[in-house]
Every structure is written in structure tokens, then in C-alpha cells.
Structure 1
Amino acid sequence: MANSSLETIYETLLAVPGMHDTVKIDLKIPRKTVLLLTEVITRGMEQKPESGNPAIRISKESEEELNTIIAESLEKAGLTILSSKLKGLTNHG
């Protein structure tokens, strides 16, 4: 499927009525998975378009929601400081 078609499909699905409804997701996952999941979400939001693989367009509202999910997940897992220190290492290294 062409990348522009896939982008159009995602944009259409995100605009469907009911997509803004809140759902409760109860996850019981290991801390290592929380750390990996939050990093994958962060990297996905920072992703730049590549040839053959366009970045997903994220609205400001969705970006804020995802950042809240990241922060809350790290806090609940007791990994906020560790994650911060890891980011500091990757930014300086």
C-alpha cells in the first residue's frame, strides 16, 4: 500500500466518531517492559520521515496525551529517575 494511502487511512481512522472516547486499560507488566514501552513511544513520536517510511503525524493533543501516559507509567513503575538518567546518558554520549 502506498505510504500516502496509509497516512490517509490513519488520519481517517483517528477522525472516526468514538475515537476520542476514554477507555481504561489495566496492564500488569514488568518494569523492564514499562521502560521499553515508554522508550518506543518516545522514539516513535520523534521519528523523522524516511524514504519509504513516513513518520506518523501526531496532533499536539495526542502528543500531550502520550507524554502523560509515558510520565505516569514511569512514575507508577518507580522508573522516573532511572529513565531520566538514561536519557541524560544518551544525550551526552
Structure 2
Amino acid sequence: MITKNDVAKVFDTVLSTPGMSETVKIDLKISRKNVLLLSHIIKMSLGSKKEDSMLLESISIDSEQDLKSISEECLIKAGLVELNEKLLNLSESVKQ
């Protein structure tokens, strides 16, 4: 049976293979709705308990920051920063 430690080693090996740190250009055309959803999913995933995902457990602080930057860049390019902030504030007010 494979252990949690074994899975962590596999993820670490895959993430550290040659070429994985190289930047790639992706021409991505998605709707504004999906930009909002993607941004929300990234934020939720990075803020959740990392024990829920072995892959998230094995990412570095730098990779986490890169994902946050990608999320912010997508919101900026889609012109959704202010709307996203208002939606987050609205969500927070419901939680309280």
C-alpha cells in the first residue's frame, strides 16, 4: 500500500523535474465569468487546509505566490478587480 509520504515524494519529484520551472506563454481566452470563478477557486484552494491535497501540500511559497499573482493578473486584464472585491465583501458579510 502506498503511504502519504510516498505520494509526497512522487509529487516532489514531478514538480522538480527539468523544465517544470520554465515559463510558458499561454494564449487563453475565457469569459469574465470564468475569470471570476478561476480567481475564486485559486484563492479558496490556497487558503484551504493543505492536508486535503497532496499536490497543494508540496508546493513552495514561491509557487503559491505565483498562483496568487496569476489570479490577480487575470482579474486586472478582465477589468474585474473592483467587482471581485465587492463580491468578496458581500460573501464575507453573509458569513458573519
TM-score class, shorter: 0.7 to 0.9
Structure of greater relative contact order (alpha carbons < 8 Å, 6+ residues apart): 2
> Counterpart of 1:62?
63
- Structural mapping, 1:68-87, within 5 Å: 68-87=69-88
Deviates more, 1:8-17 or 1:25-34: 8-17
d(CA) in 1 for partners of 2:70, 2:3: 28
Aligned length: 91
d(CA) in 1 for partners of 2:84, 2:2: 36
Structure with the larger helix share: 2
User: How far did 1:7 drift?
Assistant: 2.8
User: Structure 1: which 5+ residue stretches go unaligned?
Assistant: none
Q: What is the SS of the residue equivalent to 1:25?
A: coil
User: How far did 1:78 drift?
Assistant: 0.8
TM-score by length of 2: 0.82
User: Structure 2: which 5+ residue stretches go unaligned?
Assistant: none
Per-residue CA deviation, residues 17-65 of structure 1 (Å, 9 max, x unaligned), is: 1111010011011100111111111111112156xx4462231101111
Identity %: 43
> Counterpart of 1:10?
11
TM-score by length of 1: 0.84
> Counterpart of 2:30?
29
Structure 2 CA distance for partners of 1:28 and 1:67, relative to 1, 3 Å: same
